Structure 1
Amino acid sequence: MTTPDFVLELREHIGHAPLWLTGITAVVLRGDEVLLVRRADTLEWSPVTGIIDPGEEPADAAVREVREEADVVVKAVRLVWAHVLEPITYDNGDAAQYLDLVFACNWLNGDPAPADGENLEAAWWPLAELPPLSESCERRIRLAAESFGPALFTQLLPVALPEVV
């Protein structure tokens, strides 16, 4: 994954210390197909993911990342899930944790191709015949393809009900 300039500038000051970053997952749907990219760093298939730039609207980041990574034009149509990913330490020692905002996106035009060097392949996959994916990626795709209600918010803490007097 190409590291955004603002993250590189932060790293100059904090070294490898953990960073809290906001990212997006863009689940691009075209009928009964989903756009997947095969990442150059892990060789795994996944929806398009990326980091939101400072001041950038999250939905705009989803659209931008899909264009940059897969050369496809999309419209972000809804937020389907907001959740926190597990902490990660990269090979160079940098630590980070992400708030991931998952967007369902509709394809507008373009043929998928790995456009910026972050991915080895970009292709449409039938929703019924996906390649091996992480459990998290499968859930993101399923939520984008099957849910049409409000966004899902992961909540791990029990909700305390107010005392009735």
Structure 2
Amino acid sequence: MPMSEYVRSIRERIGNDLLLLPAVTAVIRDGERFLLARGVDSAEWSLIGGGVEPGEQPAEALAREVYEETGAALRITAIVGVYGGEPLMVDYPNGDRAGYVTTAYECHVVGHPEPDGQEIAELGWFGREEIAALPRQGWIDQVIADAR
């Protein structure tokens, strides 16, 4: 995912040191199927989401991220939970370290989502059993388990 100007300005001051960042995650459902995305530079599947920019409401950030990455709008129905800790710690190839605290929202998609080809290479709808067999980011298991 491209680095925001806000994060870039912080990185200029702190270098690769750990940066704790707020994020949002879309738990997009169609019945018992969940929409997952595979990033252009990853073999793993995950939920769609991204960072919250300064002054941005988390729900607005989620709608922006999903629209940028899929061209689809959202209808948010509930908060699933808030997640962080070791499962959301990331060491990037350039040496940057980040820890994310993400608010996961249950959503329904409005329109037909398509991968943007820049951040997302592929989208797919999967049931819980199918997700368990996918190469995926491990932290999404708890989020999907918490989605009722």
- Aligned equivalent of 1:21: 21
- Alpha-carbon displacement from aligned partner over 1:93-147 (angstroms, at most 9, x marks no partner): 111111111111112222x221151111012223443351344212212322x1x
Percent of residue pairs bearing the same amino acid type: 33
CA contact 1:88–1:97 (8 Å) conserved in 2: yes
Residues in 2 aligned to 1:24 and 1:85: alpha-carbon distance in whole angstroms: 15
CA contact 2:40–2:117 (8 Å) conserved in 1: no
Q: CA deviation at 1:75?
A: 1.4
- Aligned equivalent of 1:136: 139
- Alpha-carbon displacement from aligned partner over 1:46-65 (angstroms, at most 9, x marks no partner): 11021111111111111111
Correspondent of 1:105 among 87, 103, 107: 107
Higher helix share: 2
**Unaligned residue ranges in structure 2 (runs of 5+):** none
- Aligned equivalent of 1:115: 116
TM-score normalised by L of structure 1:
0.79
TM-score normalised by L of structure 2:
0.87
CA contact 1:35–1:123 (8 Å) conserved in 2: yes
Residues in 2 aligned to 1:116 and 1:64: alpha-carbon distance in whole angstroms: 16
- Aligned equivalent of 1:161: none
Larger radius of gyration: 1
For CA contacts below 8 A with separation 6 or more, give which structure has more relative contact order: 2
Residues in 1 aligned to 2:85 and 2:71: alpha-carbon distance in whole angstroms: 26
Q: 1:139 to 1:45 in 2, by over 3 A?
A: same
| Amino acid paired to 2:23 | G
- Alpha-carbon displacement from aligned partner over 1:51-89 (angstroms, at most 9, x marks no partner): 111111111111111111122211122111112132322
Residues in 1 aligned to 2:99 and 2:35: alpha-carbon distance in whole angstroms: 25
Residues in 1 aligned to 2:139 and 2:105: alpha-carbon distance in whole angstroms: 14
Mapping of residues 1-165 of structure 1, within 5 Å: 1-86=1-86, 87-110=89-112, 112-115=113-116, 117-130=118-131, 131-132=133-134, 133-144=136-147, 146=148
Q: 1:85 to 1:72 in 2, by over 3 A?
A: farther
CA contact 1:39–1:120 (8 Å) conserved in 2: yes
CA contact 1:35–1:125 (8 Å) conserved in 2: yes
2:49 counterpart SS class:
strand
CA contact 1:62–1:76 (8 Å) conserved in 2: no
2:21 counterpart SS class:
strand
